[in-house]
Amino acid sequence: DGYRLTVLGYDFLALKALCTRNVVGSVGNQIGVGKESDVYVGGDPERNDLCLKFHRLGRTSFRKIKEKRDYHRKRHAASWLYLSRLAAAKEFAFLKALADRGFPVPRPVDVCRHLVVMGLIEGDTLCHVDHVDDVGALYDRLMSLIVKFGRHGLIHGDFNEFNLMLLENICKVFQEKKKEEEIFSSPEKCSNALDIPLKVKLSIWMIH
């Protein structure tokens, strides 16, 4: 006789622990699905909005995660649940470090197993924005953000319209966990970091 821990069971364990800590009080609708995660809206016991990100390493669309990321750390074997836990811990550590240094990232709240809890941001991802009043100012702000990452010894790795959110002219950055060992030697090397297609009315705004 034995037992097998499923993904939903792992979700329950994480939520139960966070409820016991009085971090999470409710779980709402799913608001995002990615190659590596499921995202839900939630709330704390005082009904303040939260964002709940469940890491889902091992999806069919990203089966080579063990080769492409450093979570495995040369282990001969590791379950996808365990790797998801490592990914969540790493993302939370990056979120906290960046937030402490003034980067525009979601507010880190807590992490448990494969679940990262952060403040909910009300805004639009750039991939859903078709008009910006001051395109040049937005472009300059995004390029300055890339340079700021570089000066702290970081390359985001997925700095694109899907991981940037615009709210009242403020950009927030998501998925801050890629390639921390890479460093910009000069701001000029950022020139190829931004993909700039033409959008509606020739607005140049887009920057994964």
Rg from Cα positions in the chain:
18
CA distance 50 to 43: 5
Instruction: List beta partners, residue 50.
Output: 42, 119
Given the residues 44, 49, 110, 158, select the one marked as catalytic. Answer: 158
Residue 10 main-chain phi, psi, to 5 deg: -65, -40
Structure tokens at 113: 């197993």
Question: Is residue 49 annotated as a catalytic residue, yes or no?
Answer: no
Residue 150's H or E segment, with its range, is helix 135-151
Q: By C-alpha distance, which of 140, 150, 142, 204 is closest to 173?
A: 142
Which residues does the annotation mark as catalytic?
158
